[in-house]
């Protein structure tokens, strides 16, 4: 960590001098460069503002769902920006009513059904590598989480320096509802939330609003949607790479907010009581007992979500979050990559394709999970998701020697 900070301080002192003497480019000018021209139908737009770069996820009709090409483009852009001494910091936002709804799982579903498994592997590999790049980025990063922010959308924002939530933000990790597991670094950041809130969010897929994200630490700042343009303009005028100066601007134009009294963040004691157990079965038993004794609406809702989710995904996801509590970001991503590839292999279960079919393709909302009950999910099934990929399938390789994870 000391090595990372020393390198960052050295780079910052040099970059600040260059930024201050650099001629400002006009606001909102789209940057023509070779990287952008490589893919004519790209869904990542770029704007150059003073000493910064703005990456815009631009698939509004798909809620800015992330594709392999988008993750690859982000990687290429962020690498070039990190090396460019004229660029002090980077901003990311989404088009339309979402920041990003996560990975493009419908495309993954179709590719799997067409036998294009290697395409799916490439998606996870490319996305996870970008997330590690962001989590070890040497320049300040600001993500405006305005609107829907789910799954992989959280993965490409939460590891950065600053996350600005708004009154339009809706955050969730709903993967167990589609027969998958919270991935894209989720086992790292969920496991570091207060108490067992991470387990609750991972297993139920429950959503948080912007105020709740601030309260539990998922977001660093809050702004009303109507003020975002002002904040963006203020940031665009900064000629700096100093995160403290950026933070001062975010604090100055941000909004102080508190969650509602009925918010889940005020139920940490109840969450810990129910979701602190060792197994999914014990968690469900605790919730059922709580419902019987108190008739609590929150417990009833959580219980309903658990019973709708894939039994296998519940057990896999619980173990994932528990392991994430003792692992670094790179370790979590490497493990999640194993889990994701095992999950799409269909060797144990076809729950991922079945979940996507039921919720996003046919939309009958009646998935036929396999196994259909928690009792039928064996320890060996769960262990398989965490097992090494084997000799013929390489593990996820991250540049941990060059980029130190937190």
The residue whose two tokens read 């933070």 is 247
User: Among residues 103, 153, 160, 355, which one is catalytic?
Assistant: 103
147 token code pair: 């609107």
pLDDT, the chain, mean:
90
User: Can you state the angle between helices 105-113 and 117-135, rounded to 10 degrees?
Assistant: 150
pLDDT at residue 27 in the model: 31
**With bands split at pLDDT 50, 70 and 90, how would you rate the model's confidence at 404?**
confident
For residues 143 and 32, the model is more confident at 143
Burial of residue 295, with CB atoms counted within 10 A of its CB: 0-12 exposed, 13-18 middle, 19 or more buried: exposed
353 contacts 113 by C-beta, under 8 angstroms: yes
User: Of 327, 311, 85, which Cα lies nearest the Cα of 190?
Assistant: 327
321 token code pair: 């979050």
Angle CA 117–103–318, to nearest 5: 90
138, HSE (Cβ side, Cα atoms, 13 Å): 23
Does pLDDT of 1 surpass 80?
A: no
Does pLDDT of 351 surpass 70?
A: yes
> 103 catalytic, yes or no?
yes
Most confident of 17-21, 188-192, 260-264: 188-192
> 183 catalytic, yes or no?
yes
Does pLDDT of 363 surpass 60?
A: yes
User: Among residues 183, 199, 212, 270, which one is catalytic?
Assistant: 183
User: Among residues 152, 153, 179, 324, which one is catalytic?
Assistant: 152
372, HSE (Cβ side, Cα atoms, 13 Å): 3
pTM of the entire structure?
0.89
289 contacts 246 by C-beta, under 8 angstroms: no
DSSP 244-307: HHHHHHHHHHS------TTSGGG-HHHHHHHHTSSSHHHHHHHHHHHHHHH--HHHHHHHHHHH
Helix (H) or strand (E) holding 322: helix 311-324
The residue whose two tokens read 């799409």 is 344
pLDDT tens track for 227-247: 999 999 999 889 999 999 999
pLDDT tens track for 168-185: 999 999 999 999 999 999
User: Among residues 104, 175, 330, 336, which one is catalytic?
Assistant: 175
pLDDT tens track for 300-327: 999 999 999 999 999 999 999 999 999 9
């Amino acid at each position: 960590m000391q090595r990372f900070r020393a390198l960052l301080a050295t780079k910052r002192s040099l970059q600040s001098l260059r930024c201050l003497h650099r001629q400002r480019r006009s606001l909102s000018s789209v940057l023509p460069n070779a990287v952008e021209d490589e893919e004519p139908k790209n869904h990542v737009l770029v704007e150059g503002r003073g000493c910064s770069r703005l990456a815009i996820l631009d698939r509004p009709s798909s809620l800015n769902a992330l594709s392999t090409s988008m993750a690859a483009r982000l990687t290429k852009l962020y690498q070039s920006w990190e090396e460019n001494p004229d660029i002090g910091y980077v901003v990311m936002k989404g088009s339309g009513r979402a920041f990003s709804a996560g990975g493009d799982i419908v495309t993954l579903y179709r590719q799997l059904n067409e036998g294009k498994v290697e395409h799916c592997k490439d998606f996870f590999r490319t996305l996870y590598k970008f997330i590690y790049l962001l989590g070890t980025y040497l320049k300040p990063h600001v993500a405006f989480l305005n609107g829907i922010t789910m799954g992989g959308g959280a993965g490409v924002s939460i590891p950065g320096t600053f996350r600005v939530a708004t009154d339009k933000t809706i955050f969730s990790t709903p993967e167990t509802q589609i027969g998958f597991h919270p991935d894209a670094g989720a086992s790292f950041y969920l496991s570091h939330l207060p108490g067992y809130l991470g387990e609750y969010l991972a297993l139920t897929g429950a959503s948080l609003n912007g105020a709740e994200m601030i309260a539990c630490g998922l977001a660093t700042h809050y702004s009303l949607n109507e003020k975002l343009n002002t904040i963006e303009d203020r940031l665009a005028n900064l000629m700096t790479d100093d995160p403290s100066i950026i933070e001062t601007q975010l604090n100055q134009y941000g909004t102080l907010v508190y969650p509602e009294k009925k918010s889940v963040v005020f139920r940490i004691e109840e969450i810990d009581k129910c979701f602190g157990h060792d197994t999914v079965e014990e968690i469900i038993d605790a919730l059922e007992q709580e419902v019987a004794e108190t008739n609590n609406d929150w417990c009833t809702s959580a219980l309903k979500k658990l019973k709708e989710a894939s039994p296998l995904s519940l057990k896999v996801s619980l173990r994932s979050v528990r392991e994430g509590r003792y692992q670094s970001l790179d370790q979590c991503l490497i493990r999640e990559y194993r889990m994701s590839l095992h999950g799409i292999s269909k060797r144990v279960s076809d729950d991922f394709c079945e979940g996507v079919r039921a919720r996003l393709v046919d939309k009958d909302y009646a998935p036929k999970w396999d196994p259909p009950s928690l009792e039928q999910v064996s320890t060996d099934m769960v262990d398989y998701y965490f097992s090494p990929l084997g000799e013929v399938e390489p593990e996820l390789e991250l540049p941990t020697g060059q980029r130190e994870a937190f």
